[in-house]
Amino acid sequence: MKNFAKKILLLCQSFLVLFTVFSFLGRDLSPVDYWWITIWGLFLPWLLIGHILFIFFWLWKKKWYFLFSCVVIIGGIDYYKAFFNWNINSPKDYKSSTHLLSYNIFRLYQVGKDVSTFKKEFRESISSFPNLDLICLQECSNQNISTFKDISLLSHSFKHPKHGTAILSKYAIIKTGTVDIKSKGNSAIWIEINHVQLGHIRVYNLHLQTNRITKQTQELVNNPDFKDESTYRTIYDIFANYKKASILREEQAETILNHIRNMKKDIPVLIAGDFNETSQSLTYELFNSKYQNGFFEKGGGLGTTYSGIPLLKIDHIFVDNDLTVTNSKVLSDKFSDHYPIVVGVTRR
């Protein structure tokens, strides 16, 4: 290999290592002051792919430089497990567990008028979860709730009075409430039920601050004209909007956790929803440091939950430490711009 080409590749690998370390730091740094570091958390899956390519390349060239990427991958294994995991769940895990499903359904716009087909296919998707007792929906309407009640046979529900978060339950709801997260379009709600297997539990359903950059991002990906000055303005707007939304999500997470702390402390909680944040963010870590992440504990394969951008996982389910996570799965249904996620739990 020519000396100049080798130096260029090593420089690229060095930047790759640096940006990967930045992505690791995203869980511990606030976007208020360090957004230029925390933004790299969005790209961690792609950075991982870059490291794998460098490992194969340097091994092919019989150079020891592959060790740089090996060290980064081994050192960040717990970070990768939040979006790519290798657990194998047995049918026994499904049968003995209580399941919670979380799904941003985008008001079923992608379903259109063919609701009967959606009901049939979605019913088949959840058939492997015999004890699906709780469903948390985001971006839903009252009509959507009726549709999911028909599919799941869960007869009890509570919906935010103004926004699109709702919880469906097999068991009677004994308490309900909302958490004011200071947002015009996003919301958080909770319910309490007496569950036969889990006992008295509280379930939170969150839809944290939306980035409002999807349309801009898709236009940029489809028409990347870097000779046009407006392209750079679009890139600036995307990062500016993301920074603003990230700061709001951090504040909203603190508000929700304060609400949990101020409620009765002897009741196990389940926290599900569309967090609009990857696992490499402070918002995620605020929950992750106190509760179990279902996919991290028992997930298998890729954890992608947003279909609009490959390898993006922004939907999460967190489980109280008084409960045991037995299985976790991301379903592959394409009825929304998000994929549904399921977590199975039992009482310790």
58-116 pLDDT, tens digit each? 999 999 999 999 999 999 999 999 999 988 777 667 788 999 999 999 999 888 878 89
Residue 46: is its pLDDT beyond 70?
yes
Q: What is the dihedral of CA 168, 169, 172, 175, to 10 degrees?
A: -60
How much is the average pLDDT of 296-307?
A: 92
3-state secondary structure 241-274: HHHHHHHHHHHHHHHHHHHHHHCCCCCCEEEEEE
Cα separation, 174 vs 172, in Å, equals 6
Confidence of residue 192 (pLDDT cuts 50, 70, 90): very high
Query: Percent of the chain beyond pLDDT 90?
Result: 76
The listed range with the strongest mean pLDDT (207-221, 226-240, 332-346) is: 332-346
Residue 108, token pair as written in the block = 């079923």
| Domain ranges within the chain, ordered by starting residue | 3-80, 87-211+240-347
Pick the CATH number of 87-211+240-347 from 3.60.10.10, 3.40.430.10, 3.90.1150.10, 3.40.47.10: 3.60.10.10
Q: Which residue has the tokens 């690998």?
A: 13
For Cα atoms 313, 321, 25, give the angle at the middle one, nearest 5 degrees. 45
Q: Which residue has the tokens 């019913």?
A: 123
DSSP secondary structure string for all residues of 178-238: EE----SS-EEEEEEEEETTTEEEEEEEEEPPP---HHHHHHHHH---TTSHHHHHHHHHH
Query: In this predicted model, which residue has the larger pLDDT, 74 or 229?
Result: 74
pLDDT in tens, 247-287: 999 999 999 999 999 987 789 999 999 999 999 999 999 99
Residue 149: is its pLDDT beyond 90?
yes
User: How large is the angle between the packed helices 214-222 and 229-262, nearest 10 degrees?
Assistant: 150
Q: Give the model's pLDDT for residue 17.
A: 97
Tell me, yes or no, if the pTM score tops 0.85: yes
